Amino acid sequence: MKSKSPAKQNEPSRKIDKYWIPIVAKTLDLLDCFSSVNETLTLEEVVRRTGIPHTSAFRILHTLVVRDYLSQSGRHYRLSRLRKKLKFGFANLSKHIQLAVEIQTSLEKAAAAAGVNLVVWDNDRNADAAVRNAELMVAEKVDLAIEFQLFEQVAPVISDIFARAGIPLISLVNPHHGTVYFGVNNYRAGLTAGLALAEHAVNQWRSKFDALVLLDSPLAGRTTQSRSVGVLKGIEERLGKPPENIIHHLDGGGDKATSKAALANFLKSTRPSSRILLAGINDESAIGAVEAVNATKGRNQIAIVGHGGSAEILDIIKDPKSPCIGVVSFNADRYGAELFNFTLPIVQGRSAPTGHYVAHKFISRAATK
């Protein structure tokens, strides 16, 4: 025998309950008929699910839309995410990378101020971990996913996981195809680094240099690699196009140890007192390069610029003996406030821009004093 619904089971007592308000009950029944915040229903579907008369259902729906309990798109209605405490998921690059830690701190502050529940996962610079974390975010039923991960080959997998779940996805710093992007303009950041290196060559070496080293990270993908393209363009704008044979692309993997080893091996093939310009794809690669240079005890003249602007690299730049002359800062402290302002139309189900560039700036040694 088919069991009665809770509403039907309580119907006799409700009829004699003098405090019972039928229209309020109908309104709650209507809200309850939506199975999730992602489900959309037409007026006809609401009527079938609730048994509320067509005219009454329409009037209740209209009122709930006006009061922002529901949102409407054409003939379809859905629950408004803004009428409950939002839950954002953030899969961060790694708790061991200073810039990622600073971005997370900025997001946590903004979430607390906005009354949003921010749930954090650690991708640990690992492609498989990033995919697993995406699946965990879906299981957690987050309202919005924020992804900061390195590997281009799993980016479409991660994007598809969230697309199938109907969860909006924002990619940070390293863009994912098909997602909303939030972060710096990677090419323009590289251009800024290239201009700074060229200016150093003009002021210190009479515009002459023997090698240009680009510590790359091919696994990060083409958009992140566009920083290196920008470095080349910046140097070309200031000094003219350098000969191909003095441009050296080294795979540092965006990692301190790998970058240190790659540059140390390269320096073995250079003659003493070579003048070398070097751009690291991120802070870690630049810091690794500094460690490699320090190990040579001043054998070469080297000027290093990084990308990111973490507290760690800023401390290194302050040292007047450091070969690191500056960094292109990604302004990690601004990510939280700007991101939460940017996400409002997304969680409301309204159209939103395909991306938002966070301003970057070059920080020289003089600026750290």
- 54-94, pLDDT tens digit by residue? 999 999 999 998 887 888 889 999 887 666 678 999 999 99
Residue 322, pLDDT above cutoff 60 = yes
Whether pLDDT at 335 is above 90 = yes
Residue 350's pLDDT band (cuts 50, 70, 90): low
- Which of 194, 186, 127 is closest to 156 using CA atoms? 127
Query: What span, in angstroms and rounded, lies between the C-alpha atoms of 115 and 283?
Result: 32
Contact yes or no for 117/109 (Cβ under 8 A): no
CA distances from 92 to 139, 183, 231 (A): 17, 14, 26
Class of domain 6-82: mainly alpha
pLDDT at 221: 83
Q: Can you give the pTM of this predicted structure? A: 0.78
Q: Does the pLDDT of residue 309 top 90, yes or no? A: yes
Arithmetic mean of pLDDT over the chain: 90
Position 9 scores a pLDDT of: 47
SS3 content of the chain, % helix, strand, coil (to 5): 50, 20, 30
Q: Check residues 36 and 22 and name the one with the higher pLDDT.
A: 22
Find the mean pLDDT for residues 218-223: 85
For the residues 35-41, what does the mean pLDDT come to? 82
329 touches 364 (CB < 8 A) = no
pLDDT of residue 211: 97
* 118-159 per-position pLDDT tens digit: 999 999 999 999 999 999 999 999 989 999 998 989 999 999
Q: Identify the pLDDT of residue 308.
A: 97
Statement: residue 13 has pLDDT above 60 = no
pLDDT for residue 5: 44
The residues spanned by each domain of the chain are 6-82, 85-184+333-358, 186-329
Distance CA 122, CA 126 (A): 9
Domain 6-82 and domain 85-184+333-358, same fold? Reply is no
Class of domain 186-329: alpha beta
Question: Could you please report the per-residue DSSP string of 75-99?
Answer: TEEEE-GGGS--EEEEEES-TTSHH
Query: What six digits make up the tokens of 138?
Result: 């879906």
* Comparison of pLDDT for 107 and 220, the residue scoring more: 107
CATH topology of domain 85-184+333-358: Rossmann fold (3.40.50)
Does the structure show a pLDDT above 50 at 6? no
